[in-house]
Amino acid sequence: MRNPQRPALLFLCAAGAAGFFFGLPNAVLHLPFAALLHPFCLYLIASRAASDGEVIIYGWLQGFLSNAAGLYWLAWPMLDVADMPPALVLPLLLALYALLACYSALAAFAARSFRLAFAAEDGAGRRIPLPRDTAPPVMSGLAYGGFEVLNSVLFSGFPWLTLSSAFAFFPVMLQGAAYTGGYALSAVYAATACLCASLQDGPGRTGRACAALLIPAALFVCGVQRLSPGAGDRDDKAGMQAHLRFTAVQGNIDQARKWDRDFQTATVEHYIRLSEKALAEEKNRQSGQSSLVVWPETAMPFYFSRRPELDGMLRRFAAGHAVYLAFGGIARDEDRKGAPLLHNSLFLLSPQGKIAGRYDKTHLVPFGEYVPVVDDIAFLRGLLQGMSFSPGTAPRPLVLDGPPPLSLGPLICYEAVFPYPAQEQVRQGADILLNVSNDAWFRKSSAPLQHLAHSAVRAVEQARPLIRATNTGISAVFDAEGRLTTRVEGLFTEACLQAEVTAGAEATLYHRLSPLPELFLAATAATALVLGALRRRAGCRNATI
């Protein structure tokens, strides 16, 4: 029998997807709180669908539309870099959206499971939610965060569209991440949205409405307190902490020419010319001299230490200007059998032109830097651009000698999307986070803004300033509270960003607790699935709620 709620369910799917698009950073109109429509609509689907099957179908549909709206830009690297025919790109994208949509389907199923688990029965044996009980929406929000956690670890992880990243450019509402982490902050916002959705459940609305208002109000007060100039003794400590003045160069190198061997010398000269111009202007302004110059991910498209003429140009630049030079490049090693191992690396040259450190990217992009399971799929070779990388095994900071010494925690490109690499870098002593990236793959889309948003979350989680240097944008600087202090405006432009950051020293509550928040959220999500499975086994799959 057709569910009369079907038109309303379809509308909820569309509304949730539209809210996700406009709520997350995008190139059209960014309204952060609109992102809450995604968990809000999933909770309403859980309450209005007639069966478990309908909940999963409509929750999946909303997730599919949301991922398609937020990740439409994944088509560009397939078309522009891999040169795939559109007839092949479309099914690949649809398959990815379909896979990611499963997390939304499970979140909706979890909400239904909690609503039934905390329900009572009336005289006719029908199950009704306890109107004054806030447990179902709150637990549903926690499960939503749990599925974000699972999305970050299963199948190598792709947690790009996280609820907390919607508030990256609204720092007063992002400060909770210093205490809970980004995924738990997503859970808190999802719980707020679910509480609002639960106001349809009849008597007892007042308590749930108060809870729905108190949560964002508490986050706001927390944010104001943490961002206030006199918060604790952080300002006093900041006066005693080391400062780093740097120059980040946005080279805007054409992706189509980047790996052309005949263009390599010109690429090196281009970055040196931009850097020398920026350093000269800085000297003329008498604004202090940069002690670090940063070039983006794979800015140098050759095997460093294997091209003496190009290596010498970089060493002479660093020594001639007495600066540290951090640059992205390709490292080539050999395994025990002598087979080549390629690494996406960040090199550090000292002011004497000597190698002061190297970081090899540990979390690689599947299908972009390596092909999982099968390493020779013909139509994916274009995405790899002739190179398949191996992950690094020693994620250590890069150290700038003092006095006092400073430690840079490298995050190469995709690693800024996850909390774990930044957590490890700070655990090993990083004072400043350094994200180098190349977002030239994605044209002028929402992707660079979304990528930038994740960097803000990492800065707040670890209370570390974050320097971001990219090839085509968006190069930027966040302070230790995640405030965007300066950025390069526009995409696909040459630019040099010069600023000063203060080294972080505070160990946030999240840093001390991690990974306990993630484990708790994942356990909540798993509990919902177990409850749902037990209920189905008991024959209650079509219970009315």
Alpha-carbon distances, residue 324 vs 245, 319, 424, 486 (angstroms): 11, 8, 23, 21
- Within 10 Å of residue 362's Cβ, how many Cβ atoms? 19
Q: What is the pLDDT of residues 337-387, one digit of tens each?
A: 777 889 999 999 999 999 999 999 998 888 777 766 555 555 555 555 556
d(Cα 50, Cα 425) in Å, to the nearest integer? 48
Backbone angles phi, psi at 362, to 5 degrees: -100, -35
Residue 403's alpha-carbon distances to 349, 357, 399, 407, 531, in angstroms, are 17, 18, 12, 12, 58
Pair 183, 517: CB distance under 8 Å: yes
pLDDT reading at 390 higher than 80: yes
Structure tokens at 411: 């995050």
Query: Which of 186, 189, 223, 182 is CA-nearest to residue 423?
Result: 182
Using the structure block, give the residue that is written with the tokens 């649809």: 94
> Which of the residues are catalytic?
297, 361, 413
Q: How far apart are CA 378 and CA 250, in angstroms?
A: 33
Whether cis (ω within 30° of 0) applies to the bond prior to 86 is no
DSSP string, 265-289: HHHHHHHHHHHHHHHHHHHHHTS--
Read off the amino acid at residue 205.
R
Contacts for 488 with CB less than 8 Å, ≥ 6 apart = 250, 473, 474, 475, 476, 495, 497
What value does the mean pLDDT take over residues 473-485? 96
pLDDT higher than threshold 60 for residue 62: yes
pLDDT value, residue 380: 55
Q: Distance (Å, rounded) from C-alpha 95 to C-alpha 73?
A: 15
Residue-wise pLDDT for 439-476, tens only, equals 998 999 999 999 999 999 999 999 999 999 999 989 99
pLDDT digits (tens, 9 = 90+) for 294-336: 999 999 988 998 889 999 999 999 999 999 999 999 998 877 7
CA distances from 49 to 42, 140, 318 (A): 10, 16, 64
Model pLDDT, residue 238? 56
Q: How many CB atoms lie within 10 A of CB 389?
A: 20
Specify the higher pLDDT residue, 528 or 287: 528
**Residues 452, 474: contact at Cβ < 8 Å?**
yes
> Could you tell me the two tokens for 242?
């080391």
User: Residue 295 gets which letter from DSSP?
Assistant: -
Q: State mean pLDDT over 118-134.
A: 62
Comparing 254 with 421, the larger pLDDT belongs to 421
- Residue closest to 526 by CA, chosen among 186, 197, 139, 191: 139
Percent of the chain scored above 90 by pLDDT? Answer: 71
Q: Per DSSP, what are the bridge partners of residue 411? A: 435
Distance CA 518, CA 169 (A): 23
d(CA 448, CA 470): 10
Query: Which of 28, 10, 7, 32 shows the shortest CA–CA distance to 20?
Result: 32
**Residue indicated by tokens 């997350």:** 24
Supply 147's token pair: 């599925």
Structure tokens at 326: 């951090």
- For residue 32, whether the previous peptide bond is cis, meaning omega lies within 30 degrees of 0, is no
Tell whether the model's pLDDT for residue 1 goes beyond 70. Answer: no
Over range 227-250, report the average pLDDT: 77
pLDDT at 231: 65
Output the CA–CA distances (angstroms, integers) from residue 37 to 17, 173, 346, in the order listed. 8, 17, 39
The whole-number pLDDT of residue 82 equals 74
Compute how many other C-beta atoms are within 10 angstroms of the C-beta atom of residue 93: 17
User: Going along 203-307, which residue ranges are E strands?
Assistant: 243-250, 292-294, 300-303
Q: Domains of the chain (ranges plus CATH)?
A: 6-227+514-537 (no CATH), 235-505 (3.60.110.10)
Q: pLDDT at position 367, please?
A: 73
What percentage of the chain's residues is helix, strand, coil (to nearest 5)?
50, 15, 30
Mean pLDDT value across residues 20-25: 97
Element (H, E) at 162: none
How many other β-carbons are positioned within 10 Å of the β-carbon of residue 192?
Answer: 24
- pLDDT recorded at residue 366: 80
200 pLDDT above the threshold of 60:
yes
As a whole number of angstroms, the distance between CA 493 and CA 448 comes to 13
pLDDT tens digits, 427-438? 999 999 999 999
And the tokens for 377? 């799929």
Q: Which two tokens stand for residue 32?
A: 């952060």
**pLDDT reported for residue 167:** 97
In tens, the pLDDT along 489-536 reads 989 999 999 999 999 988 999 999 999 999 999 999 999 999 998 887
The DSSP code for 250 is E
Q: Rounded to an integer, what distance in angstroms lies between the CA atom of residue 91 and that of residue 240?
A: 56
**Mean of all residue pLDDT scores within the chain:** 90
Question: What does the pLDDT read at residue 540?
Answer: 62
Give the residue among 288, 71, 87, 35 at the shortest CA–CA distance from 158.
Answer: 71
Given this model, what pLDDT does residue 404 score? 82
- Backbone angles phi and psi of 483, in degrees to 5: -80, 135
Q: How far is the C-alpha of 249 from the C-alpha of 251, rounded, in Å?
A: 6
Q: Residue 79: pLDDT above 60?
A: yes
**Per-residue pLDDT for 130 more than 90?**
no
